[in-house]
Structure 1
Amino acid sequence: MTKVCIYGAGAIGGLMAAALSEAGADVSLVARGPHLAAIQDKGMILRKDGQETTYKIKASDNPADLGQQDYVIVTLKAHSVPAIVDQFTPLLGPETAIVPAVNGLPWWYFYKADTGTVLDDNPLETVDPGAAQWKAFGPQRAIGCVVYPAADVPEPGVIEHKYGNRFSLGEPDGSQSERLERLSNLFIKGGLKAPRKGRLRDELWIKLWGNCSFNPVSALTGASLDQIGANAACTDVVRRMMLECKAVGEAVGARFAVDVERRIEGGTEIIGHKPSTRQDVEKGRPMELDALTSTVLELARKLDIPTPTLDAVAALVRMQGSVLGLYQHNEALESLIFKR
């Protein structure tokens, strides 16, 4: 039986855990606090399609309780992982794959990327300070994942599915490996869509296109996506941010299968939805900024690509996070991404 540990049993982690349990995998969760206590006491409850299902899944706040795994799926926010890499050690055997199911550009992005730039086979400082994950895990363990579903944790121990069921997967080198196929098949057997992509990085950029623009604009204004789309001035800001992001992505080999206007339409047609970064503000949670904005600026600085609109909005949203106590200011990072 395939052993899968989900490190971070929040909304997306819980949704994955339910699907993998349905597929017959040996699933375990690393969680904490009231959420962990509820799962240990009554099981994890998934509300989906008007139905409620309880899953009895082994859960702990101590990875040593769970043992070595075939796959470790990381569903924590990207900025929280580098400081705790040592906690993953009990989960890792010689062949354990690590699947970062995170927003933004992942720490392994330039492993076997073959972009022809100075970035190849080097870590991203903005999401992996000091190459903590690159060194502790090793990029050869990584399987890429692009997360599309939306879910929430309305109360401890309960996962509420909102929409979407696709998790695109891919090897950093674009190959169709046995470990990739096995994980994809488990997701599919559990009722999810899990296409295996030879060019997963293209999908990472399409999603990041929205994250780096809509997220900070919503965080600053409090507007939902449709409200942003209904305001011509705000839409113009988003458009300029996307065009700058596209220039950076194309410089490292990304292909954008849709144009800017279609991407904006696809985002703003979602009525009443506020991106995760605005939800962080409203709920007083640490803001996920570096994976969504700073990564693009890091690449832009290293490749000498101008990004004036991204620079301005990123500076404002980082100040917002600092003032609210939801983002930790880092002088070294500031000098890296705002260097001229």
Structure 2
Amino acid sequence: MKICIFGAGAIGGYMGAKLAQAGADVSLVARGPHLAAIQSRGLTLIEEAAEPITVPVKASADPAELGIQDYVIVTLKAHSVPAVVGAMRPLIGKDTTIVSGVNGLPWWYFHKFGGPLEGTRLKTVDPGGVQWSGLGPDRVLGCVVYPAAEVSTPGTVRHIEGNRFSLGEPDGSKSERALRLSRVLQDAGLKAPVRPKLRDEIWIKLWGNLSFNPISALTHATLDVLCTDEGTREVARRMMLEAQTIAEALGVSFPIDVDRRIAGGAAVGAHRTSMLQDIDAARPMEIEALVGSVRELGRIVGQPTPTIDTVHALVTLRARVAGLLP
């Protein structure tokens, strides 16, 4: 089995190092100093309570050097994916599976969804239908990414917490391709359950990302602060309730209530969300995948999103003023 991780930054690097350590045939698409370091001395992984490991792994900025793969696992920022669809083509053969490990609502959300919304394309996450047309939804295997990691120095990934990558077919089946990848990831010491209702997990993760991320970018507050401050907690709560109404209209079930979800965010502690990290590092933020897409779904199902609209407008302007709109 040949596996290529497209976007081997923090999360992709963590997964790639674990797979390489387990002896999997894995390659990485990366760029810049991080790529140069991996090519010259290997990929180093630092995990808590374990000795750092360094593994040799094939890495390139040019996918054509890596050849056709059985699985291409995409771990880029959501707004970066449409621009690289053409570059991914040398990796894709007749039977290649695209594993979508990207934050936010996925571009394939309404593939094999059933009912009148079947095949609906989300403009906020797939402008112009580039991914739908260029990759094809039948190739897609969904993935909800839970680990937290960071590239501490070029060529070195520090794992912070979590090791679960939930997998799921758009139609909810436990396919052989999903089970096969699950086994390989488990052999590498990762949790990789195959879920019949992956969309439910997508929403549980999105519930926090939708609210905590933009609020942190606007206030520069860490999770423990924004989840316990009376004002920002209420803004997050209203955003989450608006999103829950939309998701439930689409058949999603939430196993916990909004207050428990916010309490869970507070329990993480002084964590800087990905949007806060991006704005501090002058990187574009995943505004449309995490916030704009929920607004778009609200209009599709006829549900108002007044709080989400307000926060979306504020964080979009914040990004524009900083020159960080994708």
- Report the Cα offset of residue 123 of structure 1: 1.9
| Match in the other structure for 1:8 | 7
| Equivalent-residue separation in structure 1 for 2:180 and 2:100 (angstroms) | 17
| Match in the other structure for 1:40 | 39
| Equivalent-residue separation in structure 1 for 2:107 and 2:186 (angstroms) | 26
| Match in the other structure for 1:195 | 193
SS of equivalent residue, structure 1 residue 310? helix
| Equivalent-residue separation in structure 1 for 2:217 and 2:118 (angstroms) | 32
Normalised by the length of structure 2, the TM-score is 0.98
| % same residue | 58
| Equivalent-residue separation in structure 2 for 1:262 and 1:193 (angstroms) | 24
| Equivalent-residue separation in structure 2 for 1:113 and 1:326 (angstroms) | 34
Q: Unaligned stretches of 5+ in structure 1?
A: 329-340
Confirm or deny: 8 A CA contact 2:104 2:289 kept in the other structure: yes
SS of equivalent residue, structure 1 residue 107? coil
Structure 1 runs (4+) deviating above 4 angstroms are none
SS of equivalent residue, structure 1 residue 230? coil
Q: Deviations over 1:190-225 (max 9, x none)?
A: 001111100000000000000000111111000011
- Report the Cα offset of residue 271 of structure 1: 1.1
SS of equivalent residue, structure 1 residue 121? coil
Q: Residue 158 of structure 2: which of 150, 157, 160 is its match? A: 160
| Match in the other structure for 1:90 | 90
Confirm or deny: 8 A CA contact 2:21 2:55 kept in the other structure: no
**After superposition, where does 1:208-247 map in structure 2 within 5 Å?**
208-247=206-245
- Report the Cα offset of residue 171 of structure 1: 0.6
| Equivalent-residue separation in structure 2 for 1:36 and 1:24 (angstroms) | 20
1:73 partnered with 2:73 = yes
| Equivalent-residue separation in structure 1 for 2:8 and 2:84 (angstroms) | 16
SS of equivalent residue, structure 2 residue 76? coil
- Report the Cα offset of residue 113 of structure 1: 1.2
Q: Residue 151 of structure 1: which of 149, 152, 176 is its match? A: 149
| Match in the other structure for 2:29 | 30
Confirm or deny: 8 A CA contact 2:6 2:12 kept in the other structure: yes
Which residue type is aligned with residue 70 of structure 2?
D
- Report the Cα offset of residue 24 of structure 1: 2.7
Which residue type is aligned with residue 247 of structure 2?
G
| Match in the other structure for 2:16 | 17
Normalised by the length of structure 1, the TM-score is 0.94
Which residue type is aligned with residue 39 of structure 2?
Q
Q: Unaligned stretches of 5+ in structure 2?
A: none
Which residue type is aligned with residue 45 of structure 1?
T
Confirm or deny: 8 A CA contact 2:284 2:324 kept in the other structure: yes
Confirm or deny: 8 A CA contact 1:6 1:17 kept in the other structure: yes
Confirm or deny: 8 A CA contact 2:20 2:26 kept in the other structure: yes
- Report the Cα offset of residue 234 of structure 1: 1.0
- Report the Cα offset of residue 229 of structure 1: 2.0
Q: Deviations over 1:294-331 (max 9, x none)?
A: 11001111222111000000100000000000114xxx
**After superposition, where does 1:175-194 map in structure 2 within 5 Å?**
175-194=173-192
